[in-house]
Amino acid sequence: MDGHNGVPVATFREQTVEIALGPKGAFENGNVGTMARRVRAELVVSAVPRSRRAPKPPRGPRTPRVAELLRKAIEWRALLESGEAANQAEIARKEGITRARVTQLMGLLRFPPEIQQHVMGLPGTIRRSAITERALRPITQLENLTDQKVKFQALFEHVGQAKLDSCGATIASDSQNLMPTQRCRRQVV
C-alpha cells in the first residue's frame, strides 16, 4: 500500500489494554476498564515503562552521624583554640547553620574522653544508627561525670548496641545494626 508520493503507509493493529480504575488493588476488586488503541504493527508496546537507569547498588556501612557530628565539634574546638575562628557565631556563618546548632554540637564535648572515644568508635551501620545526637543531648547536660557514664551505659543497654564493662572496654552485642565483621572487642581510651 502506497501513500502520498509513493511512500509506504504503516500498517496498524488494534491493541486492547486493561486499566485499573481507582487506587492500588483495583484489579482485585474487579474495577477494571478496557481501552482500545491503534499501534503500528512492527512496534511492541508495553504498559510497563522500561527502567531509565541502572538499579542502585546495595548500601555499604556508613559511619554513624553522631560520630561525624562529634568529629565536627572537635574540629570547631580546635578552630576556636587556635584563633582561626573568633567565636561560635563565626563558625555558624562558615558552616551555614545556626548558632544554636553549633552550641548543641559543641555540647557533645562535655562528655568525658572515654565516652567521646566510644561514640567515635561506633561501628558503621547500613541503617540509621539507634544512637543519635538528640538522644545524647540530655546526658551532656549532667554535671557529674559518673552520672553521665551511668546514663550513657543505660542508653546503650536500651538500644542493645554495646555495653561498657567495668574496665572501660566495649563489647559489641549481636545487634541488627552491626556489621558481622565488626562484632569484636575494642578498647576505649
% of the chain beyond a pLDDT of 90: 42
- 151 close to 142: Cβ distance less than 8 angstroms: yes
Q: Is 119 helix (H, G, I), strand (E, B) or coil?
A: helix
CA 160 vs. chain centroid, Å, equals 19
- Residue 56 included in any domain: no
- Residue 51 included in any domain: no
- Residue 146 included in any domain: yes
- Residue 111 included in any domain: yes
- Residue 95 included in any domain: yes
pTM greater than 0.95 (yes/no): no
User: pLDDT of 127-168, one tens digit each?
Assistant: 888 889 999 999 999 999 999 999 999 998 887 644 444 334
- Residue 126 included in any domain: yes
- Residue 20 included in any domain: no
Instruction: Tell the residue number behind the cell numbers 562484632, with chain if given.
Output: 183
The domain total for the chain is: 1
The C-alpha atoms of residue 153 and residue 164 are separated, in whole angstroms, by: 7
In the structure, what pLDDT confidence band is assigned to residue 170 with cuts at 50, 70 and 90? very low
User: pLDDT of 28-78, one tens digit each?
Assistant: 666 777 778 787 777 766 666 667 778 888 888 889 999 999 999 999 999
The domain that holds 151 is classified in CATH as 1.10.10
Segments forming the whole domain that contains residue 180? 65-187
- Residue 175 included in any domain: yes
Q: Look at residue 96 and tell me whether its pLDDT is greater than 90.
A: yes
- 116 close to 108: Cβ distance less than 8 angstroms: yes
